[in-house]
């Protein structure tokens, strides 16, 4: 697992890599605790990640409740598209996705809420979309609404660069079939795998 931070110039800075057989709350607590202990001046106020609540809870247990939780829009779209597979009408499916993408550009939660109410009203009467609308309303309007663009102004709405780096590391690990301790040495000797635009950092 890769973790890091983004600056105001839209560059991602990897801070560390964790090799773990699980992705439970305790595993993320270990990551965040280690980060806090090695960088006492770092007080993160925005957490950008996928929808895993293990990440949220692990972060909260180490850094407290004073933070904004951004749910990566890339992962939201991925989950939404997976659920939309059950709808066989391709034009309707595309229209629903377009409606959701438009709402992602909301400037405030109030704007998202109002636009989403119209979205639900529009599609609730469609028998083929009812199950999806119920899912989307509960998951991404009531429970995890922090996926719209201005939820955390000045901060990214996705963690695409982190996902890209993580995927590359996994690919390298599978390709070379390294034991984990050798893999860590390999990564240390090949920093370009983590920082692919040296000396600049990758943009998200």
DSSP letter string over the chain? -EEEEE-TTSBEEEEEE---S--SHHHHHHHHHHHHHH-TT----EEEE-S-HHHHHHHHHHH-S-SEEEE-HHHHHHHHHHHHTT---HHHHHHHHHHHHHHTT-SSHHHHHHHHHHHHHHHHT-TTTHHHHHHHHIIIIII--TTSTTSSTTS-S--HHHHHHHHHHHHHHHHHT--HHHHHHHHHH-GGGT-TTTTSPPB-
Least confident span in 21-25, 97-101, 118-122: 21-25
Is 70 exceeded by the pLDDT of residue 61? yes
**Average pLDDT value for residue range 91-102:** 96
Is 70 exceeded by the pLDDT of residue 143? yes
- pTM summary value: 0.82
Q: Which residue has the higher pLDDT, 200 or 26?
A: 26
Least confident span in 31-40, 64-73, 98-107, 129-138: 31-40
């Amino acid at each position: 697992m890769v973790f890091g931070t983004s600056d105001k110039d839209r560059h991602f800075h990897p801070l560390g890599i964790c090799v773990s057989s699980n992705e439970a709350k305790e595993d993320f607590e270990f990551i965040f605790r280690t980060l806090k202990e090695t960088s006492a001046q770092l007080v993160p106020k925005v957490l950008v990640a996928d929808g895993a609540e293990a990440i949220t809870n692990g972060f909260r247990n180490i850094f407290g409740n004073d933070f904004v939780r951004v749910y990566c829009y890339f992962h939201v779209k991925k989950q939404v598209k997976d659920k939309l597979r059950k709808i066989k009408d391709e034009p309707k499916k595309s229209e629903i996705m377009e409606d959701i993408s438009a709402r992602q550009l909301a400037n405030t939660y109030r704007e998202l809420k109002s636009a989403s109410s119209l979205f639900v009203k529009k599609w609730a009467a469609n028998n083929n979309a009812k199950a999806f609308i119920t899912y989307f309303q509960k998951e991404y309007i009531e429970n995890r609404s922090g996926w719209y663009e201005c939820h955390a102004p000045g901060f990214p709405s996705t963690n695409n660069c982190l996902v890209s780096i993580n995927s590359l590391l996994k690919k390298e690990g599978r390709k070379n079939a390294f034991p984990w301790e050798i893999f860590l040495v390999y990564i240390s000797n090949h920093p370009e795998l983590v920082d692919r635009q040296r000396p600049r950092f990758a943009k998200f």
